[in-house]
Amino acid sequence: MSVEIEGRAEHDSEHNGELADMVADMNVAGQRITLPSGCKPGPSRTTRVSDRKMSLQERGSRMPRQPTIETKRVSITDAEDCVQLNQYKLKKEIGKGSYGVVKLAYNEDCEKYYAMKVVSKKRLMKQCGFFRRMPSKGPKPAFPLEKVYKEIAILKKLDHHNVVKLVEVLDDPDEDGLHMAFDLMTKGQVMEVPTDHPFTEEQAQFYFRDIVLGIEYLHYNKIIHRDIKPSNLLLGDDGHVKIADFGVSNEFEGTDANLSCTAGTPAFMAPEMVTEHELSYRGKALDVWAMGVTLYCFVFGKCPFYDVNIISLHNKIKHKPVAFPDTPSISDALKGLIERMLDKNPESRITIPEIKLDAWVTENGSDPLPLEEEHCTAVEVTEEEVQQGVTLIPKLSTVILIKTMLRKRSFSNPFECLGVRTQRSMSLPGGLLTGSWSLPKASPQLPPTLRKVSREASREGELEDLHEDDTLKESEDEKETLTQIKKEESFNG
């Protein structure tokens, strides 16, 4: 990841520096559009910390978040300078997440800008490896699409000032794109690494306190983030940090998570993750290590362990002690905290409760952080809620079904006969006018944001590189698929 950060630093800098100006220019052109609070051009990152607004926790009051909107009917069409997605106008790409791109989106209904994460379900299903043999023993691997729905289930429940908020999920079963609208952070990531302009200790302390509160909230709700780094820490309009991107997060039961799979960014991985003989490791300690690497980046502008070769990088993480450059000079208290966070032994590594009491974090106790019960509330993400958005593949017949859907570039039912398809109800996509699927007397009204659209244009304009071979005719494809299903049913007896 160090190499990745090095290569993308200049590109990210352009995005973060121009985003607020771009939003402002759009508002001037629109005349009637008012700039939302989340898009207000704020002070530069070199502004004195004392001039920033106090967080909701520090003010002692918290407003409950609005429930996440879930939209199952999506209309997509190409406009002159954007893609129209229901009430959203999707503009240029402003970033990338774990499983998709992030675009600037303007909501015409509320006249606000949001960050829209666009995920291709088709691309994720291809990553699943439908025809790979599943392991006979041990835990079954999680499919990428399942991880996305788990991320949504988590984000829908989270309500904390230092965690990014999921505003709306647009997931039409008949469309390839899964869209997630987040509050827009026009100031972008808290820091671009590497940089020649690291933070002062005062600035680093201000941001780090936000991270501590956000991570404590996640751990309180039994969530391990697993990918804490500057690019996943976004600045709100009040200058405070909000933790983003839960694409590789894990939930756990009990007091801590026992993890065995590798996930996250190499330069921010803990030593126990890159050690071959380790069978499992504690989740909370991983987040603490990544927070230590992030704090080091804040004050020195670079990662404590770096190498272009991934094997050499792992060796440095496992064996090389953390070194502090002569410049810039930092206090002994800060050095001590970083060393305790970058302790290579997870058993003796400092914990979040201990970090909250650290002399550097609290300024020798003169500025304590709020207690856990003062800013944390419990949420619960049930297995049923996750399963509502994703279906695993238990049988060969289901695999054949999805393969057919991919070939035809459609998520509609591929087993309907051609004659019946011509009688499909336009007001009830998926409903049929024959047999037991009779049309109701009055078709339900569509939402006001639902507009006429060409499905083919939407797939070509919205997501790129999603073309599948379509060499078989539709009728032949159905015959082949049905024959395979009959053989499977006959084999199962």
What is the structure's pLDDT at 154?
83
What is the structure's pLDDT at 104?
94
Active site residue 332: no
Is 96 one of the annotated binding-site residues? no
Query: Where do the structural domains in the chain lie, given as residue ranges?
Result: 2-60+67-375
Instruction: Could you please state the CATH topology (level 3) that the domain comprising 2-60+67-375 is classified under.
Output: Transferase(Phosphotransferase); domain 1 (1.10.510)
Closest residue by Cα to residue 104 from 77, 80, 82 = 82
| pLDDT of 181 above 80 | yes
Q: Can you tell me the mean pLDDT for 341-365? A: 97
What is the structure's pLDDT at 475?
54
> Whole-angstrom Cα distance, residue 456 to residue 78?
11
| pLDDT of 46 above 50 | no
Label residue 25 left, alpha or beta by phi (over 0 means left) and psi (-120 to 50 means alpha). Answer: alpha
What is the structure's pLDDT at 328?
96
Inter-helix orientation angle 283-300/201-220, to 10°: 160
Q: In this predicted model, what pLDDT tens digit does every residue of 147-157 receive, in sequence order?
A: 788 888 888 88
pLDDT level of residue 458 (50, 70, 90 thresholds): very low
CA distances from 224 to 154, 247, 283, 390 (A): 11, 11, 6, 21
- Which entry of 12, 176, 227, 237 is annotated as an active-site residue? 227
The pLDDT mean for the chain works out to: 75
Assess contact for 350 and 291: CB atoms under 8 A.
Answer: no
> pTM (2 decimals)?
0.66
Q: In this predicted model, what pLDDT tens digit does every residue of 114-166 receive, in sequence order?
A: 999 999 888 887 766 544 455 554 455 556 788 788 888 888 889 999 999 99
Interior angle at CA 426, CA 425 and CA 428, nearest 5: 65
Q: What is the CA radius of gyration of the chain?
A: 25
Name residues whose C-beta falls within 8 Å of residue 53's C-beta, 6 or more positions apart in sequence. 238, 239, 240
What is the structure's pLDDT at 404?
66
| pLDDT of 296 above 90 | yes
DSSP notation for 152-204: HHHHHH---TTB--EEEEEE-TTSSEEEEEEE--TT-BS--SS-SSPPPHHHH
Q: In this predicted model, what pLDDT tens digit does every residue of 208-221 receive, in sequence order?
A: 999 999 999 999 99
Closest residue by Cα to residue 484 from 406, 402, 390, 392 = 402
What is the structure's pLDDT at 402?
63
Q: In this predicted model, what pLDDT tens digit does every residue of 23-41 receive, in sequence order?
A: 655 554 443 333 333 333 3
Of residues 156 and 5, more confidently modeled:
156
Q: Can you tell me the mean pLDDT for 235-253? A: 90
- Before 36, cis peptide (omega within 30)? no
Assess contact for 139 and 152: CB atoms under 8 A.
Answer: no
